[in-house]
Structure 1
Amino acid sequence: MSHGWVGMSKTGARKGSRGMARAVAVAMTCGCIAGLSGCTFLIPSRAEVAPKEVLVRVTTPAVSTEGVLAVALDDANAPLGMNDAKGDLTGYLTDVAYALGQRLGVSVEFVTDETPSDMASSSDADLYIGAASDSDADKVTVVGSVLHDAPALFAKGAASAPIDSSVLAGATVGVQSSSAAQDILTACGVDAEQKTFSNANELFEALDAGEVDYVACDSAIGGYLSRAYPDISFAGALDEPDSFGIALRSTNDDLQEKITEVLDELQADGTLDAVYRSWFGGLPVDLSDMLLDGITTSAERKQQEEQRRAQEEAQDEDQGADDTDSNGSATLEDPAVDSEAEAL
Structure 2
Amino acid sequence: MSHGWVGTSKTGARKGSRGMARAVAVAMTCGCIAGMSGCTFLIPSRAEVAPKEVLVRVTTPAVSTEGVLAVALDDANAPLGMNDAKGDLTGYLTDVAYALGQRLGVSVEFVTDETPSDMASSSDADLYIGAASDSDADKVTVVGSVLHDAPALFAKGAASAPIDSSALAGTTVGVQSSSAAQDILTACGIGAEQKTFSNANELFEALDAGEVDYVACDSAIGGYLSRAYPDISFAGALDEPDSFGIALRSTNDDLQEKITEVLDELQADGTLDAVYRSWFGGLPVDLSDMLLDGITTSAEREQQEEQRRAQEEAQDEDQGADDTDSNGSATLEDPVVDSEAEAL
The TM-score by the shorter chain falls in which range? Answer: 0.7 to 0.9
The offset of 1:41, in angstroms, is 3.6
In structure 2, the residue matched to 1:246 is: 246
Distance 1:244 1:22, change over 3 A: closer
| CA contact 2:71–2:127 (8 Å) conserved in 1 | yes
Distance 1:339 1:229, change over 3 A: farther
C-alpha distance in 2 between matches for 1:175 and 1:22: 43
Percent identity for Structure 1 against Structure 2: 98
| CA contact 2:71–2:111 (8 Å) conserved in 1 | yes
Distance 1:340 1:329, change over 3 A: farther
Superposed CA deviations along residues 120-163 of structure 1, whole A, max 9, x for unmatched, are 00000000000001113330000000000000000000000000
| CA contact 2:8–2:85 (8 Å) conserved in 1 | no
Q: Secondary structure at the residue paired with 1:206?
A: helix
Q: What is the TM-score when the length of structure 1 is the normalising length?
A: 0.87
The offset of 1:57, in angstroms, is 0.3
| CA contact 1:117–1:138 (8 Å) conserved in 2 | no
C-alpha distance in 1 between matches for 2:161 and 2:196: 24
C-alpha distance in 2 between matches for 1:134 and 1:311: 29
In structure 2, the residue matched to 1:308 is: 308
C-alpha distance in 2 between matches for 1:94 and 1:211: 35
C-alpha distance in 2 between matches for 1:342 and 1:328: 25
| CA contact 1:223–1:283 (8 Å) conserved in 2 | yes
Distance 1:174 1:336, change over 3 A: same
Q: What is the TM-score when the length of structure 2 is the normalising length?
A: 0.87
Q: Secondary structure at the residue paired with 1:44?
A: coil
Q: Secondary structure at the residue paired with 2:40?
A: coil
Distance 1:243 1:14, change over 3 A: closer
Distance 1:49 1:300, change over 3 A: same
| CA contact 2:30–2:41 (8 Å) conserved in 1 | no
Superposed CA deviations along residues 251-297 of structure 1, whole A, max 9, x for unmatched, are 00000000000000000000000000000000000000000011100
Superposed CA deviations along residues 207-256 of structure 1, whole A, max 9, x for unmatched, are 00000000000000000000000000000000000000000000000000
Distance 1:12 1:238, change over 3 A: closer
| CA contact 2:155–2:234 (8 Å) conserved in 1 | yes
In structure 2, the residue matched to 1:94 is: 94
| CA contact 2:15–2:110 (8 Å) conserved in 1 | no
C-alpha distance in 1 between matches for 2:81 and 2:233: 23
| CA contact 2:155–2:207 (8 Å) conserved in 1 | yes
C-alpha distance in 2 between matches for 1:165 and 1:311: 29
Q: Secondary structure at the residue paired with 1:47?
A: helix
Q: Once superposed, what is the RMSD of the aligned Cα atoms?
A: 17.3
**What number of residue pairs does the alignment pair up?**
344
Name which of structure 1's ranges 18-27 and 271-280 shifts more when overlaid on structure 2.
Answer: 18-27
Q: Secondary structure at the residue paired with 1:26?
A: coil
Distance 1:11 1:20, change over 3 A: farther
C-alpha distance in 2 between matches for 1:79 and 1:10: 12
C-alpha distance in 2 between matches for 1:140 and 1:5: 32
The offset of 1:55, in angstroms, is 0.2
Distance 1:341 1:213, change over 3 A: farther
Distance 1:321 1:213, change over 3 A: same
The offset of 1:48, in angstroms, is 1.8
Name which of structure 1's ranges 136-145 and 237-246 shifts more when overlaid on structure 2.
Answer: 136-145
Distance 1:68 1:332, change over 3 A: same
The offset of 1:46, in angstroms, is 2.0
| CA contact 2:2–2:77 (8 Å) conserved in 1 | no
C-alpha distance in 2 between matches for 1:148 and 1:217: 14
| CA contact 1:172–1:214 (8 Å) conserved in 2 | yes
| CA contact 2:75–2:83 (8 Å) conserved in 1 | yes
Distance 1:56 1:25, change over 3 A: closer
The offset of 1:43, in angstroms, is 2.3
In structure 2, the residue matched to 1:271 is: 271
The offset of 1:188, in angstroms, is 1.2
Distance 1:333 1:115, change over 3 A: same
**Rg larger in 1 or in 2?**
1
Name which of structure 1's ranges 129-138 and 318-327 shifts more when overlaid on structure 2.
Answer: 129-138
C-alpha distance in 2 between matches for 1:84 and 1:23: 25
Structure 2, unmatched stretches of 5+, are none
Q: Which has the higher helix share?
A: 1
The offset of 1:4, in angstroms, is 80
| CA contact 2:238–2:292 (8 Å) conserved in 1 | yes
Q: In the alignment, is residue 192 of structure 1 matched against residue 210 of structure 2?
A: no
The offset of 1:38, in angstroms, is 11
In structure 1, the residue matched to 2:149 is: 149
Name which of structure 1's ranges 332-341 and 318-327 shifts more when overlaid on structure 2.
Answer: 332-341
Superposed CA deviations along residues 299-327 of structure 1, whole A, max 9, x for unmatched, are 00000000000000000000000000001
C-alpha distance in 2 between matches for 1:24 and 1:187: 54
The offset of 1:16, in angstroms, is 64
C-alpha distance in 1 between matches for 2:225 and 2:185: 20
Name which of structure 1's ranges 324-333 and 271-280 shifts more when overlaid on structure 2.
Answer: 324-333
